[in-house]
Amino acid sequence: MRRVLVAGGAGGVGEAIVRALLDAGDVEVLATSRSAARLNALAASLEPGLRPRLSRIVGEAGSFEGAARIVAEVEARGGADVAIALLGRGFWSSGPLLSLDPREWNAVLDEMLTAHFAFARAAIPMLAARRDSLYLSIGGGAAFTPVPDAALMSIAAAGQLMLTRALAAERGEASPRICELVIDGPVRTRDSADFAEASWIGADEVARSVVEIAFGAAPPTVVVIGGRDRAARVRPPGYSGRENAL
């Protein structure tokens, strides 16, 4: 039985990933949220047959203390082979950069970038104890493009992507493999279903890619889904090689 820790598993993209992982078969999922109610809603949304393989962990995966507590709890329950970090938000606007309140700058980078470092710092040593383990960060294509009036989102996403690449470069071939799945475009989730456009990537499609990365051949450091020409240019057939060109 493969064990997968999903930090942020009760969010819009996270719930689709949790369901797809459980659907994949011989998998136990440990999902975290800061909210017990959101985890309970996630469990209730699953088919009854899948629920016994979902463990709920209430905690703050994006703080240094919270991530350490969550990882200690996962280790006490038998550890994990895969950790997935879904720490952030869907599309959001912070307004023009020069109008930003410095407190918002600090708060957003803390919530969206430092959170990824905090979780990686706790989860990677746990995964290192297992062969063929994987640390998978889920990021956004804003990392590639300055989005006017939402540039803070781009800055956080670019920082998250460089964090992944730097961790992969520092750790080389050591377990776990380090990978980021960059979703290049908005995602149709339960929350965005009312206003999502037909061209948006479905959360189920993102979830299928996650299952492929988690249980397939060793992925490169960066995998991009969505986008237009970029997808064809960057996504490598069969995920061969450690990192595809950006």
Ligand X SMILES: NC(=O)c1ccc[n+]([C@@H]2O[C@H](COP(=O)([O-])OP(=O)(O)OC[C@H]3O[C@@H](n4cnc5c(N)ncnc54)[C@H](OP(=O)(O)O)[C@@H]3O)[C@@H](O)[C@H]2O)c1
Which residue number, 12 or 176, has a Cβ lying nearer to ligand X? 12
The DSSP bridge partners found for residue 56 are: 31
CB-count exposure of residue 29 (10 Å: 0-12, 13-18, 19+): buried
Among 2, 3, 6, 11, which residue interacts with ligand X (rule: CB under 6 A)?
Answer: 11
Task: State the CB neighbour count (10 A cutoff) for residue 12.
Answer: 19
Among 81, 134, 140, 180, which residue interacts with ligand X (rule: CB under 6 A)?
Answer: 140
CA distance 62 to 84: 12
Q: In this structure, are residues 94 and 104 in contact, taking their beta carbons and an 8 Å threshold?
A: yes
Q: In this structure, are residues 97 and 152 in contact, taking their beta carbons and an 8 Å threshold?
A: yes
Which residue number, 173 or 197, has a Cβ lying nearer to ligand X? 197
- Closest separation in Å from C-beta 10 to ligand X: 4
Does residue number 62 form part of the binding site for ligand X (CB under 6 A)?
yes
How many positions of this chain bind ligand X (CB under 6 A)? 29
Stretch touching ligand X by CB under 6 A, among 31-39, 170-178, 207-215, 236-244:
31-39
Does residue number 159 form part of the binding site for ligand X (CB under 6 A)?
no
Stretch touching ligand X by CB under 6 A, among 21-29, 59-67, 101-109, 121-129:
59-67
- Closest separation in Å from C-beta 221 to ligand X: 16
Instruction: Tally DSSP H helices, then E strands, for the chain.
Output: 8, 9
What lies within 8 Å, CB to CB, of 244 at 6+ separation is 220, 222, 223, 224, 234, 235, 236
Which residue number, 19 or 38, has a Cβ lying nearer to ligand X? 38
Tokens representing residue 121 in the block: 């710092």
Helix axes 102-109, 151-171, angle to 10 degrees: 40
- Closest separation in Å from C-beta 55 to ligand X: 15
Stretch touching ligand X by CB under 6 A, among 20-28, 84-92, 121-129, 237-245:
84-92
Which residue number, 130 or 211, has a Cβ lying nearer to ligand X? 211
Does residue number 92 form part of the binding site for ligand X (CB under 6 A)?
no
Among 5, 6, 10, 108, which residue interacts with ligand X (rule: CB under 6 A)?
Answer: 10
The alpha-helical segments, DSSP class H, found in the chain are: 12-23, 36-45, 64-76, 102-109, 115-128, 151-171, 203-215, 229-234
Does residue number 81 form part of the binding site for ligand X (CB under 6 A)?
no
Sites of contact with ligand X (CB under 6 A): 8, 10-14, 33-35, 38, 60-62, 86-91, 111, 115, 138-140, 183, 186-187, 189, 191
